A and B are shown apart, each in its own frame.
Chain A
Amino acid sequence: MYNLFAFCATRKTVCRRAATSRLMVGFRKWYYNACGFNRLGLMRDDTINEDSDVKEAIRRLPEQVYNDRMFRLKRALDLSMKQQILPKDQWTKHEEDVHYLEPYLEEVVHERKEKEEWAKK
């Protein structure tokens, strides 16, 4: 069940921004918890589908952020193998979830689009 919601976090859903309102905040927290990847200690950007743009963005991550990402992925794979989840106090909270990859990804996409624009001329 967790995996189904994890695959939903493709790049398109990552880039959408909804207006903040009191109703939306509640809904978003519910949705985040329902996705279930936080029970494995993952953040949203850890679950992103790795296409070539994402790979380049990951290459650009600063060392510390990259190491944290690798650690979280390893831990999640280990838990998944053992068919376990983390205790509730260790689940990633919606407020703590940092979209660390987003700025790098935006930059990569922007650069690729620029190259394509130039190629058209």
Chain B
Amino acid sequence: MTGFRGFTHLSVSPLSLSPHCFLLSSNVVFKIHTNLLGVSKLPSGLLVASLENYSPVSKIGVFVKAGSRYETAENLGVTHILRLASNLTTKGASAFRICRGLEAVGASLSVTSSREHMVYSLDCLRDDFEGAMEYLINVTTAPDFRPWELSDLLPRVKIDKAVADQSPQIGVLEKLHEAAYKNALSNSLYCPDHMVGKISVDHLQQFFANNYTSARMALVGLGVSHAAVMKVGEQFFSTHTGFGAPGAVYRGGELRVQSGGGLVHALLACEGAVAGSAEANAFSVLQRLLGVGPHVKRGSNITSKLSQCIAKATTQPFDATAFSATYSDSGLFGVYVISQADSVINAAMAQVTAVAEGSLTADDLTRAKTQLMADYLMSLESSEGLLEELGVQVLSSGAYSSPQTVTQSIDAVTSSDVVKAAKKFDESKKTMSCYGHLANTPFVDEL
């Protein structure tokens, strides 16, 4: 299922509460009027998609294949700086003017980056679309990297890194990717320490020229007509095709970070499925089967198989969720455990093995599938979720599959698919990253 990144659904603080999940009855159907949705490709290679939902607020996103996986060894951290530099002076407007101009119309511009994509999204009132788009176009096609503005960014980079260092969840995820892959996906989302202050204007310009080409971009609009978005899309043209990036190579490794505190955050994963494939659906269903956090606030997480199994193994507080991340050419699937005792990880693994041996009932499977469908459909309810889904799908496959198609493909997952997925986890080379008080934590080859 393209775009459904389990990573974004990994509750960053698993001990917090995830949204309610309603069991859907099979009569509920989610429709997008397909005559209002348009996807087209311009001659410059730019993909344009729009959904006219007659909303008074327009939301436009520019999705670029410029995530941290496209960084090379010489310019590690350049995406972090680019993310922070998105509001700086461009060839058409100064930083001050971008800020004031957007404020004047009540628009907001934000930039998000992930391992694969850089997303610039603009919210504005429908009538102010033309004016606000000018700023978005400037930011994404013509930034003017000025050395003094970039050196003023340094404190912000440091704050970002300090905040990330404080959070064990972010640390464990970054370390997992670093341990699991040899290149591309092993790059961190944050600027590494040795590159803070050393990313120069040349690095930025080179990265920009190689990656921000119209063939690698998608322009997505919600609440705008397709014609208007196409017209804007014509302003994105560049003759560069940019360089291809190497495919991600999974290696399976281990990274452990000793730190203070009484808890151990451990993330154990194997290579999963590619985004959009049927295998990815199987992994997502398996993820839901094993448990992704309580569905009822302050509840006891009864439906999570992992929690049930681990509760038998230890009486100390713990939290366990299944983790799944999919990228365009690879994926990760595993379990994320927060605990104090050491038997927890073994218990979690035993549970997955149990599923691999086929101990899953038809009820469990239906429940997992329904939860997955519900989560997916509810993520489309918000404009951010819909924009992200539209953009990532269009950028990776050039077309948009409607929610019906997606829910059908989820429904098509059988218990043998899920068992196969669990077997894959059991048998493949694992990666582990742990963070915390590691005295009693087993190594990945001891599991």
Contacts and interface: CB of A to CB of B under 8 A. Distances in A.
A118 B94 contact: no
B96 A111 contact: yes
B262 interface: no
B96 A115 contact: yes
A118 B100 CA distance: 8
Interface residues of B, number: 7
B148 A114 contact: no
B135 to A, nearest CB: 15
B299 interface: no
A60 B148 contact: yes
Contacts of A111: 94, 96
A62 B96 CA distance: 22
A62 B147 contact: yes
A90 to B, nearest CB: 31
Contacts of A114: 94, 96-97
A97 to B, nearest CB: 25
Nearest to B99: A118
A59 interface: yes
Interface string B86-120: 00000000101100100000000000000000000
B148 A59 contact: yes
Nearest to B147: A62
A115 B96 CA distance: 8
A2 B94 CA distance: 40
A114 B99 CA distance: 13
Interface string A87-121: 00000000000000000000000010011001000
Contacts of B96: 111, 114-115, 118
Contacts of B97: 114, 118
Contacts of B148: 59-60
Interface in B53-81: none
Interface string B144-157: 00111000000000
Contacts of B147: 60, 62
A19 to B, nearest CB: 30
A118 B103 CA distance: 12
Contacts of A62: 147
A10 B94 CA distance: 27
Interface string A39-55: 00000000000000000
Contacts of B100: 118
Nearest to A63: B147
A111 B94 CA distance: 8
A118 B96 CA distance: 10
Contacts of B146: 60
A62 B202 CA distance: 14
Nearest to B95: A111
A60 B144 CA distance: 14
Interface of B: 94, 96-97, 100, 146-148
Interface of A: 59-60, 62, 111, 114-115, 118
Closest 10 CB pairs of A and B: A60-B148, A118-B100, A111-B94, A115-B96, A114-B96, A114-B97, A114-B94, A59-B148, A111-B96, A62-B147
14 contacts: A59-B148, A60-B146, A60-B147, A60-B148, A62-B147, A111-B94, A111-B96, A114-B94, A114-B96, A114-B97, A115-B96, A118-B96, A118-B97, A118-B100
